[in-house]
Amino acid sequence: MSISRKTINTLIVVFFINGFLFAQEAKPPIMGWSSWNNFRVHIDEKMIREQADAMVASGLYDAGYRYVNIDDGYFGGRDSIGNLFVDTQKFPSGMKTLVDYIHSKKLKAGIYSDAGRNTCGSIYDNDKKGIGVGMYGYLDADSKTFFDDWGCDFLKVDWCGGEQMNLDEKTEYLKILKTVKAKNEAIVFNVCRWKFPGQWAIDKANSWRISYDIDDKFSSILKIIDLNVDLYKYSSPGHYNDMDMLQVGRGMSYEEDKSHFSMWCMLNSPLLAGNDLRSMSKETVGILINKEVIALNQDKGFYQARRIFKEGNIEVWEKLLGEKGKDGKAIAILNRGEEANNFVLKSDLVNLEKSVKIRDLWSGKKIGAIGKKVSFTIPKHGIVVLRTE
């Protein structure tokens, strides 16, 4: 199915599941938090509750963050008839109670599984309780547990167990997608295959990972950006290239964090904070709640930015805003280099009339008419993000 881009502001996505017709307004990429980057399998009920509390108290909720996603590490095993249960030492109140708490904060709850028998944590983190708890062979039972019993709103399905079993990814993911979306079409589904999975996913999953796990190094950020340069043709309203969870606030420099966050917004990746929300610096909060930069990610034109210029360490990216750019455009100038770089942005490069006014979304300064050209000094690993007024 191809998705029409007409009447974007009231776009309705229509598709069939098990012979039934479903329709919903296309949603922008999700925003929220996920446990994996900072905690891996070392998670518990108390910490998750505190992350939900911090999402509200820090201002992230007001900026649009909604999802609290519980990743690998919550499993206790299966009972005698195969039903999943949680690790009661980590989650003494049970998952339903925790999800209810998240919902009480007006937030949404996400959960994790694998397409095979075993989870990534069982393979790479020696989590023995991650063995035998994947969805393979338990698709209907686990879907009932996740959505009917626990009330979750999001599902990330990993591929470590599927790869271990040498399964066919298209076959397995489509089975899971069909079951989950038939359960509730509004459930947000992420294919975590660690590379672009193929065109079979682009009108079915809400997002799909395009890379191996992100690291808290700028080289990792650049590698993922490079992988997404030509994938814009597969992005459409409600269906996005997932560049992985954010590493903002986890060890990179302030300029690197701004560049990282800006490019995730420009390229329509889901925005899932991966840091500990309970102990954020003011700088980290300031990056994560920059509403003007977030607005690029959430723009109802659903346009993934294109790279329109590359020379040496400088790249210029363009993102049309609104339907077919009727709301102007955003321009990001990224310095990949190890030194500050002076760059002259010419109006004809970004196809703007000289009278068009622009402003800097990080400094908040109005630059005024672009004229024939305008100059910027961009720090090492830094970025300038502009928007037409």
CATH of the domain at 261: 3.20.20.70
Residue ending a domain, choose from 298, 322, 343 = 298
What is the 3-state secondary structure of 336-363? CCCCCEEEEEECCCCCCCCCCEEEECCC
Residue ending a domain, choose from 251, 268, 298 = 298
Q: Is residue 23 part of a domain?
A: no
Q: Is 137 exposed, middle or buried (0-12, 13-18, 19+ CB in 10 A)?
A: exposed
Q: How high is the pLDDT of residue 25?
A: 85
Question: Given 127, 158, 216, 299, which residue is catalytic?
Answer: 158
The verdict on whether 114 is a catalytic residue reads: no
How does DSSP assign 67-128, residue by residue? EEE--SS-EEEE-TTS-EEE-TTT-TT-HHHHHHHHHHTT-EEEEEEESSSS-HHHHHS--G
1 pLDDT higher than 60: no
Q: Over range 96-114, report the average pLDDT.
A: 98
- The closest alpha carbon to 27, from 173, 236, 208, belongs to 236
- Asked if residue 311 and residue 217 are part of one domain, the reply reads no
- Asked if residue 106 and residue 253 are part of one domain, the reply reads yes
Q: Is residue 13 part of a domain?
A: no
- Asked if residue 332 and residue 258 are part of one domain, the reply reads no
More confident residue, 175 or 10: 175
User: What Å distances lie between residue 75 and 29, 36, 47, 89, 193, CA to CA?
Assistant: 27, 14, 16, 11, 21
Question: Given 53, 149, 203, 213, which residue is catalytic?
Answer: 213
Strands 75-78 and 314-320: unpaired
- Asked if residue 321 and residue 228 are part of one domain, the reply reads no
Q: Is residue 227 part of a domain?
A: yes
- Asked if residue 291 and residue 318 are part of one domain, the reply reads no
- Asked if residue 365 and residue 260 are part of one domain, the reply reads no
Cα-flanking dihedrals φ and ψ of residue 127, to 5°? -85, 100
Q: Which residues contact 272 (CB under 8 A, 6 or more apart)?
A: 30, 31, 32, 33, 34, 67, 69, 245, 246
Q: How high is the pLDDT of residue 66?
A: 98
- Asked if residue 265 and residue 317 are part of one domain, the reply reads no
Q: Is residue 102 part of a domain?
A: yes
Residue 143 in tokens: 């879907």
Residues comprising the chain, all counted? 389
Q: How high is the pLDDT of residue 18?
A: 40
pLDDT in tens, 16-68: 434 333 446 899 999 999 999 999 999 999 999 999 999 999 999 999 999 99
Residues 330 and 347: their CA atoms lie apart, in Å, by: 13
Q: Over range 193-201, report the average pLDDT.
A: 97
Q: Is residue 98 part of a domain?
A: yes
Residues 34 and 367: their CA atoms lie apart, in Å, by: 36
Q: Is residue 119 part of a domain?
A: yes
| Residue-number span of the structural domain to which 323 is assigned | 306-388
User: What Å distances lie between residue 227 and 168, 191, 336, CA to CA?
Assistant: 23, 17, 15
Q: Over range 135-141, report the average pLDDT.
A: 98
- Asked if residue 243 and residue 317 are part of one domain, the reply reads no
Residue ending a domain, choose from 254, 269, 298 = 298
Q: Is residue 20 part of a domain?
A: no
- Nearest 5°: the CA angle 274, 280, 281 is 130
In the chain, DSSP finds a helix count (H) and a strand count (E) of 12, 20
Q: How high is the pLDDT of residue 24?
A: 64
Residues 342 and 340: their CA atoms lie apart, in Å, by: 7
b/e map of 336-371 (b: 16 or more CB within 10 Å)? beeeebebebebeebebeeebebbebbeeeebeebe
- Asked if residue 262 and residue 152 are part of one domain, the reply reads yes
pLDDT in tens, 284-313: 999 999 999 999 999 999 999 999 999 999
366 pLDDT higher than 50: yes
Residue 3 in tokens: 């998705």
- Asked if residue 149 and residue 246 are part of one domain, the reply reads yes
% of the chain residues with pLDDT over 90: 94
- Asked if residue 341 and residue 225 are part of one domain, the reply reads no
The verdict on whether 299 is a catalytic residue reads: no
**Position 145 confidence tier, pLDDT thresholds 50, 70, 90:** very high
Q: Is residue 8 part of a domain?
A: no
Structural domain count of the chain: 2
CATH of the domain at 335: 2.60.40.1180
- Asked if residue 92 and residue 238 are part of one domain, the reply reads yes
- For the entire predicted model, the pTM comes to 0.94
